[in-house]
Amino acid sequence: MLVNSVYLSLAILLISMCKQGQTATIMGSTMTDFFPEVYGNVSLVTWAHAVNNQAYLTKTLADGRIMMIEADISEGIESNSSDKLIPIMAHPPNRESDLSLESFLEQITNQPKSTIRQGVKLDFKSLAALEMSIGIINYYNKETFPLWINADILPGPINSTVKPVNPYRFLELSKKLGNVVLSLGWTTHYGPGMVGKYKDTDIETMLHVINSNNILNEISFPVRAGLAAESLDELLRLLKTVKHSTLTLWSHENDNVNVSKLNNVIKEIGCDRIYIDVPESLRKQLITS
């Protein structure tokens, strides 16, 4: 009971530090309906990253602390199976995994929701991987848990040369998946000792893509924490323009992050519109620091 009281007090404290706004709608309700324990504060949603093999999936499904399971989808072959290319759980350059997308979704769908409730974020590394996944996703997506579809659809800071997936084709294919949350990001070039931001042109290009594709799904924009810390005005404009959208903060372990500025971004935007999916070393400095 003491532990529960501590978590409740922490949640109330965090909410009081954040501005109130809209929460992301998911599966006809909201993420906070599915996770009532966050009390409207989506920054409290917890994540498991790169759940790309069977052992890690088994461990994650049994971990009641994890709310959202993020995994990478690539074209490849399943270990000890045929050489046929299928959607597998793997991050490039890996082209082999002991876990296929079909098995991944089957296990999550069959997870008893009475004990542990978890949602899924699928990070697609290519259009080909998404195309061959549509039938599988639609078969298992019974809208009983949050499902996010992620891809980097535009080049971003700092002058990133990483090739994104084609935004128009990605959004066209995503329309075949129904009421999923679209996680639409930018490729980035960033790391230790670097300073940069999301520029007005990054925001304008994203807004143009969204507006020209008649997107009705809820949207979360994954933004790299070190860059987001320097981009308050740009991100406020983005969220003001795209109604009911959210941000998802992410970071690499050694990224240069101005924690003070990032905390100000979180405060100004509101914890009900920012998911925080960063390494624990950074996470523990946010909001309450």
Q: Judge whether 192 and 160 are in contact, CB under 8 Å.
A: no
Quick one: pLDDT at residue 143?
85
Quick one: pLDDT at residue 15?
44
Q: Locate the domains of the chain by residue range.
A: 2-283
Count Cβ atoms below 10 Å from residue 268 Cβ, excluding itself: 13
pTM over 0.85: yes
Q: Judge whether 251 and 257 are in contact, CB under 8 Å.
A: yes
The pairing of strands 68-78 and 147-155 is unpaired
Quick one: pLDDT at residue 134?
98
Quick one: pLDDT at residue 3?
42
Question: From residue 43, how far is each of 59, 177, 249, 276 by CA, in Å?
Answer: 23, 26, 9, 5
Quick one: pLDDT at residue 32?
85
Two structure tokens written together for 103 = 């098995």
Quick one: pLDDT at residue 7?
41
Compute mean pLDDT per 10 residues along the chain, 289 residues long, and list them: 44 45 49 91 95 98 96 95 92 95 96 84 97 97 92 96 96 95 97 94 98 94 98 99 96 96 97 95 82
Quick one: pLDDT at residue 152?
98
Domain 2-283, CATH among 2.20.25, 3.30.70, 3.20.20, 3.30.390: 3.20.20
